[in-house]
Amino acid sequence: MKVRVAVSLKDGVLDPQGKAISHALHVLEFPEVQGVRVGKIIELEVGESDPEYVVQRARRMAESLLANQVIEDFTVEIVK
Amino acid sequence: MKVRVAVSLKDGVLDPQGKAISHALHVLEFPEVQGVRVGKIIELEVGESDPEYVVQRARRMAESLLANQVIEDFTVEIVK
């Protein structure tokens, strides 16, 4: 089964990567860009078949490794 | 308007970051993990209101900066 963990910076946390991309897009003549936020998508292939168990375990993986919960939020969803 | 560009490695391209995460998850006692693929989510706030135009421009941004089309694929969607 495949599960997807999306990790994004919490609102209000400075995003230097986003700022750099925004600046580069302006240089490349995309003036309409007003803001950029960058996050991660981590797709996990797991050898389990119970969706509830898989989501619960993926949450534990996010809490212990995949997301820095001081500055990041995460969501977990099963990939159909 | 907000538009989301999801960038992911093409199938068959080695994902060293995914391998490192997979190894770390095994060490942290998540043995069910069989594979990990890592991608990026770039959310752009743009000062335009025509969804078709916004998607077309976001595709151009992805082609020129956000995705390395030799090894990466991307999708573009408007964020409701």
Model confidence at A39: pLDDT above 90: yes
Model confidence at A34: pLDDT above 90: yes
The predicted pLDDT at position B80 comes to 78
A20 touches chain B (CB under 8 A): no
Domain annotation for chain A: domains and CATH numbers: 2-79 (3.30.1280.10)
State the average pLDDT for chain B.
96
The predicted pLDDT at position A80 comes to 78
CA–CA–CA angle B16, B17, B23 (5° rounding): 90
Question: How confident is the model over A24-32, as a mean pLDDT?
Answer: 97
A6 touches chain B (CB under 8 A): yes
Model confidence at B53: pLDDT above 90: yes
- List, in sequence order, every residue forming a beta bridge with A40; answer none if it has no partner: A7, B40
